[in-house]
């Protein structure tokens, strides 16, 4: 799978999350459930880690400690490097989204 295909899949999955968990009022998006807030945080941390690992871009806040807290909250032992933590976060996103699809059926 190419990087472009991965990006397209992430965009499609992100839109699915937005449609399910967020309520759009005109130009404002309202996250009105605790699950929606958690999902937004997970997606934001994943995006920030991906920017650092793949492009070397850094933001004001280091996403690694937040990513490690998220992994610990889901019962996983965080890896040591940003690249490995990114892989764990991507697996967690995949697991959570796969679990939601099964519940909807």
The residue extents of the domains of the chain are 3-104
Global pTM reads 0.66
Q: Which residue has the higher pLDDT, 29 or 96?
A: 96
CB 90 within 8 A of CB 70: no
**Residue range 7-25: average pLDDT?**
62
55-92 pLDDT, tens digit per residue, is 888 888 899 999 999 999 999 999 999 999 999 999 99
> How much is the pLDDT for 3?
59
Q: Which of the four pLDDT bands, split at 50, 70 and 90, describes residue 98?
A: confident
Token pair belonging to 17:
């999350």
Residue 105: both structure tokens together: 């059926």
Dihedral sign from CA coordinates of 63, 64, 65, 71: positive
Phi, psi of 33 (to 5 degrees): -135, 150
* pLDDT value at residue 97: 75
Q: How confident is the model at residue 39 (pLDDT cuts 50, 70, 90)?
A: confident
**How does DSSP classify residue 54?**
I
Q: Which two tokens stand for residue 21?
A: 């968990």
What pLDDT score does 34 carry?
Answer: 87
What is the rounded average pLDDT for all residues in the chain?
80
Angle at 81 between CA 71 and CA 8, to 5 degrees: 70
């Amino acid at each position: 799978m190419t990087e472009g295909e991965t990006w397209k899949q992430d965009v499609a999955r992100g839109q699915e999350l937005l449609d399910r968990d967020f309520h759009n009022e005109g130009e404002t998006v309202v996250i009105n459930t605790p699950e929606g807030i958690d999902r937004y945080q997970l997606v934001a941390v994943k995006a920030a880690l991906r920017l650092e690992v793949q492009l070397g871009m850094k933001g004001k806040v280091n996403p690694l400690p937040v990513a490690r807290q998220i992994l610990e909250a889901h019962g996983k032992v965080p890896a040591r490097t940003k690249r490995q933590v990114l892989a764990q976060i991507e697996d967690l996103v995949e697991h959570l989204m796969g679990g939601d699809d099964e519940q909807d059926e």
